[in-house]
Structure 1
């Protein structure tokens, strides 16, 4: 019986964690941007039944033309934003989100680049830490 309860507890924790996932709402996969221009990065945070407290978002960009990009969990690239995350409702048909304006470095190489987002939140009644990484491939032209 004890192992069944332990298994159920782990399943509940895993389900709670996955319910806290953020998503990149913008830019779309493959968007073409020019060096030196501004880019809006929209980070969405759907509601969940589990309580949470947002901590931060980090947005990085790595240039990887001709080579495989490295997962943001291992390498964020050049950090373009590091700070608070406070998603809000803007339209009734979208989940809460926050837009961040970043500037594409003027000296970045043309070709494939990987936009990485690290999302940190505290989840549940005991507020345990949760870290997830997201990514979106864009093209520097």
Structure 2
């Protein structure tokens, strides 16, 4: 029983250590309709066996259907809005990353949709990877809130 509990703790710790982030754009950044922007998905180097599989990136408006701008984008946790990318995630080592930080990354460049409402929005991502000796699938979601302007 104790070995099983320790194995579960080790698995939970290893899954937590894998967490990726949106390194760019940063929270509060301004995105201009029709202009390009780069989304950098970064994750720490992971010593245990792991394999990145894919990533999904979207841009979800926080403007409500009645046209008002929501002050709480966190209610939009399950939707991706404008789907910008869905495919392979193959991060490479970041040349300037200090040891023990988000050392692996991949950049994706998009154009801000011209038909997205102005106001707050979230750049959202979902990352699927396999971890552990048995390659257990893990899906994580994360986001940053940005401002969309004309």
Report the CA distance between 1:93 and its aligned residue.
2.4
Query: Residue 44 of structure 1 aligns with which residue?
Result: 42
Match status 1:105 vs 2:113: yes
Match status 1:139 vs 2:147: yes
Give 3-state SS (helix, strand or coil) of 2:22's partner: strand
5+ unaligned residues in a row in structure 2: which ranges?
64-68
Match status 1:121 vs 2:129: yes
Query: Residue 93 of structure 1 aligns with which residue?
Result: 97
RMSD of aligned C-alpha atoms?
A: 1.3
Counting only pairs closer than 5 Å after superposition, residues 66-81 of structure 1 correspond to structure 2 as 66-67=69-70, 68-69=72-73, 70-72=75-77, 74-81=78-85
Query: In the TM superposition, what whole-angstrom CA distance separates every residue of 1:73-113 from its partner, at most 9, and x where no partner exists?
Result: x1121210111001101414251110000111111111000
5+ unaligned residues in a row in structure 1: which ranges?
none
Report the CA distance between 1:37 and its aligned residue.
1.1
Runs ≥4 residues deviating over 3 A: none
